A and B are shown apart, each in its own frame.
Chain A
Amino acid sequence: MKTLRTLSLGALALACAASLTAADLAKFDSQPGSKVKIDGTSNIHDWAVEGGIIAGTMELDAAFASDPTKAAPGKIAAKVETSMPVRTLKSGKSSMDSVMHAAMKQPVHPKIEYRLTELTLKETPKSAEGPILLESKGELAVAGVTNKVAFPVTMTRAGKSLKATGTASVKMTSFGIQPPSPKISFGLITTADDVKITFEWNTSAAEAK
């Protein structure tokens, strides 16, 4: 009897796992108006570059997407693949932009890419609009180097739109990027290795096909 129960539980688990297929994922497409900001510092002053295009799609467990207030904390089936053209990152100074784009090996690796590997709901949200607090794990590829990254993500909903915001801290050197030190400064200006990436990604539920 006990064996049978274990088996049936196992079967149930399998069935659940099987149900986590594309068919049960709700798709969200990237929309204009997204923002990415990279903040850094140097021994002289803080700096920031901003971009306004995040491409890609997000797929979330359909039941979770339709009513997140019923979801229990834990792993959420999800698939996210996004990218951002490196040259859309701007500082407001074109001379600094070309240095930055060169440091990120833009001609060879024109995009920054991110792929989600795991999404965990931290707590059941009180409202379907959010905020929905999640933890993410994924892979970030910059300048041809891919690293594992983990950072908290907050989602908010409004009608068909879903906005994901978050902040990730990374080291430039972990992507093989030497923090730039302008030659003209004779080594007096040194850029710190740590940068903070903040994003605000606008998506909208894809039209049913």
Chain B
Amino acid sequence: MNNLPLPQNDTNNALDVSRRDFVKTSSFAAAMSMLGGVPLFAQEAKPAAAAPAAYDGPTVKCALIGAGIWGREILNTLARFPKAQVIAVCDSYAPFLTRAKEAAPKAEGFTDYKEVLKNPAVQAVLIATPTHLHKEIALAALAAGKHVYCEAPIANTIEDAREIARAARDATRSYFQPGLLLRSDPQRRFIVPFVRSGATGQNIKTRAQWHKKTSWRRAAPNQERADALNWRLRKDTSTGLVGEVGSQQIDVMHWFLAKRPVSVTGFGGILFWQDGREVEDTVQAVFQYEDGTSFNYEASLASSFDSELEVLYGSDATIMLRGNKAWLFKEADSPLLGWEVYARKEQFFNETGISLAANASKSTQTDQGKGQNEAAYADPPLYFAMESFIENTELIATGIEDFVATFDAKDTKALRDYLNGLQKSKKPAATYKDAFEAAVVTIKANEAITKKGVVKFDPAWFEI
């Protein structure tokens, strides 16, 4: 059945580290220069921390549930934050658990997530199991009073996603963050005002793509394990490329545009990986909006050409995002913004891209030695998402501690008001609402792809 080459660095996430490495080290940026764009940079992150020196500050005690490739990526990222203390790792598959314990040597290993939730020392739970297993664990974790990070998509059915969103909404004492990583990404956050302020003129259309030559199939020692591991390739457990990978870029586009689609038309097929899988290896979803504009999402496991990108086409200018870089391409007749005269520019074939870097003003003082193709910061979106999760969990956990030390712990409304007051101290991250919205949009897009037809969005589907 599986006679195709196996991927060496496959993950279930679009925004994996290898992509960043690729952008940093390949001649990709040079190639882009030949096309001519102005990079739009985000503020430089703190340099990656060296081995944490003896840290005696406050900690957030974490447990990882689901220690596959992505789960271990989470562990490696958490290890960069002295405040994040991983005290438990859980996986029902022994070899994964062994590898997770190598990544988090001080953590206790568990094969049953219920045992993890029973441990009162565990404050925060990070769920990186297959999508269809999220609901049971997320609901149990919230019920146990844990703070929860749940990978995106949060579920493979709208009903399950709604149950998780409701539980997250009602859990006053828990911080919930879904794995929509780009919401925490400084470069994406830097672009939002450009889009929203009308610097690009009227939005005409948008496009996002994820291209990678990889089978998505995981190697396993036996058939049973192969079935469990390859849940992404089955229709009953997977949300397809558009959901499992597309959630990230589709969510970020809807965030940029502050729009909700009215319909989605799907295309796709198993064009290359004829290995008995059920899920399309190449897909296209065209979302349409009330104002007549559209957003074309394309993904393929059969071609790696042009990798990943997000493009917002405007009547005055177009913004292109690739990994941790972004550029603005102006129309000849667009008004002069002023700042772009001083900005870095790159040539992209026949176009000139103006760099949109969040740290552009700082870079003149500190980054003079940097090459033009160097990105503003090197950390992947997961780093910023984990930073937000740890910081926000601590904020909410200490907020609750301080509140109940003074006031009636049963006064849920007053506690909720107090915690809402802490909002502005939160680090940017996606919410349960964002996760539910993204789940509805991508699950329905996957439905459209499966039937190769149109799905009209019913506003009632979006109600939590």
Nearest chain A CB to B423's CB is how many angstroms away?
9
User: What residues of chain A lie closer than 8 Å to B57, measured between beta carbons?
Assistant: 107
Q: Are A92 and B424 in contact (CB under 8 A)?
A: yes
Q: Are B402 and A88 in contact (CB under 8 A)?
A: yes
User: What residues of chain A lie closer than 8 Å to B417, measured between beta carbons?
Assistant: 32-33
Q: Are B418 and A30 in contact (CB under 8 A)?
A: no
Q: Are B402 and A87 in contact (CB under 8 A)?
A: yes
B406 within 8 A of A: yes
Q: Are B425 and A30 in contact (CB under 8 A)?
A: no
A72-95 interface code vs B (CB 8 A; 1 in, 0 out) = 000000000000010110111110
CA distance A124 to B181 in the complex (A): 60
User: What residues of chain A lie closer than 8 Å to B405, measured between beta carbons?
Assistant: 55, 85
Considering the complex, which residues of chain B in the window 405-449 have a beta carbon less than 8 Å from any beta carbon of chain A?
405-407, 411, 414-415, 417-418, 421-422, 424-425, 427
A135 within 8 A of B: no
Q: Are B402 and A53 in contact (CB under 8 A)?
A: yes
Contact among A32, A85, A90 with B425 in the assembled complex (CB-CB below 8 Å): A90
Q: Are B403 and A53 in contact (CB under 8 A)?
A: yes
CA distance A87 to B399 in the complex (A): 9
Closest to A83 in B: B406
CA distance A167 to B418 in the complex (A): 22
Chain A residue total in the interface (Cβ 8 A)? 17
A31 within 8 A of B: yes
Nearest chain A CB to B152's CB is how many angstroms away?
24
User: What residues of chain B lie closer than 8 Å to A52, measured between beta carbons?
Assistant: 418, 421-422
Q: Are B402 and A94 in contact (CB under 8 A)?
A: no
B398 within 8 A of A: yes
Closest to B415 in A: A32
Q: Are B402 and A32 in contact (CB under 8 A)?
A: no
Nearest chain A CB to B407's CB is how many angstroms away?
5
B391 within 8 A of A: yes
User: What residues of chain A lie closer than 8 Å to B391, measured between beta carbons?
Assistant: 94
Q: How many A-B residue pairs have CB under 8 A?
A: 41
User: What residues of chain A lie closer than 8 Å to B425, measured between beta carbons?
Assistant: 90-94, 97
Q: Are B406 and A53 in contact (CB under 8 A)?
A: yes
Chain B residue total in the interface (Cβ 8 A)? 20
User: What residues of chain A lie closer than 8 Å to B411, measured between beta carbons?
Assistant: 32
Q: Please indicate which of the listed interface residues B57, B395, B403, B421 has the most CB atoms of chain A within 10 Å of its own CB.
A: B421
Nearest chain A CB to B401's CB is how many angstroms away?
9
User: What residues of chain B lie closer than 8 Å to A91, measured between beta carbons?
Assistant: 425
Q: Are B427 and A55 in contact (CB under 8 A)?
A: no
Q: Are B421 and A30 in contact (CB under 8 A)?
A: no
User: What residues of chain B lie closer than 8 Å to A92, measured between beta carbons?
Assistant: 424-425
Nearest chain B CB to A53's CB is how many angstroms away?
5
User: What residues of chain A lie closer than 8 Å to B424, measured between beta carbons?
Assistant: 90, 92
User: What residues of chain B lie closer than 8 Å to A53, measured between beta carbons?
Assistant: 402-403, 406-407, 418
CA distance A92 to B421 in the complex (A): 11
Contact among B402, B414, B415, B422 with A85 in the assembled complex (CB-CB below 8 Å): B402
Q: Are A33 and B406 in contact (CB under 8 A)?
A: no
Nearest chain A CB to B92's CB is how many angstroms away?
36
Nearest chain B CB to A9's CB is how many angstroms away?
45
User: What residues of chain A lie closer than 8 Å to B415, measured between beta carbons?
Assistant: 32
B173-204 interface code vs A (CB 8 A; 1 in, 0 out) = 00000000000000000000000000000000
Q: Are A32 and B414 in contact (CB under 8 A)?
A: yes
Q: Are B427 and A32 in contact (CB under 8 A)?
A: no
CA distance A55 to B406 in the complex (A): 6
User: What residues of chain B lie closer than 8 Å to A33, measured between beta carbons?
Assistant: 414, 417
Closest to B424 in A: A92
Closest to B403 in A: A53
CA distance A87 to B425 in the complex (A): 12
Closest to B394 in A: A94
Query: Quick one: given A53-B402, A94-B391, are A32 and B422 in contact (CB under 8 Å)?
Result: no
Q: Are A31 and B402 in contact (CB under 8 A)?
A: no
CA distance A63 to B421 in the complex (A): 36
Q: Are A87 and B406 in contact (CB under 8 A)?
A: no
Nearest chain A CB to B325's CB is how many angstroms away?
25
User: What residues of chain A lie closer than 8 Å to B402, measured between beta carbons?
Assistant: 53, 85, 87-88
Closest to B395 in A: A94
User: What residues of chain B lie closer than 8 Å to A107, measured between beta carbons?
Assistant: 57
User: What residues of chain A lie closer than 8 Å to B399, measured between beta carbons?
Assistant: 88
Q: List 17 A-B contacts (CB under 8 A).
A: A30-B407, A32-B403, A32-B407, A32-B414, A32-B415, A32-B417, A32-B418, A33-B414, A52-B418, A53-B418, A55-B405, A85-B402, A85-B405, A88-B399, A90-B422, A92-B425, A93-B425
Residues of B within 8 A of A (CB): 57, 391, 395, 398-399, 402-403, 405-407, 411, 414-415, 417-418, 421-422, 424-425, 427
Known: A33-B417, A94-B425. 4 other contacts (CB 8 A): A31-B407, A32-B411, A90-B425, A93-B425
Residues of A within 8 A of B (CB): 30-33, 52-53, 55, 85, 87-88, 90-94, 97, 107
In the A-B complex, the 10 residue pairs with the closest CB atoms: A32-B414, A55-B406, A90-B425, A92-B424, A85-B402, A52-B421, A32-B407, A88-B402, A53-B402, A94-B391
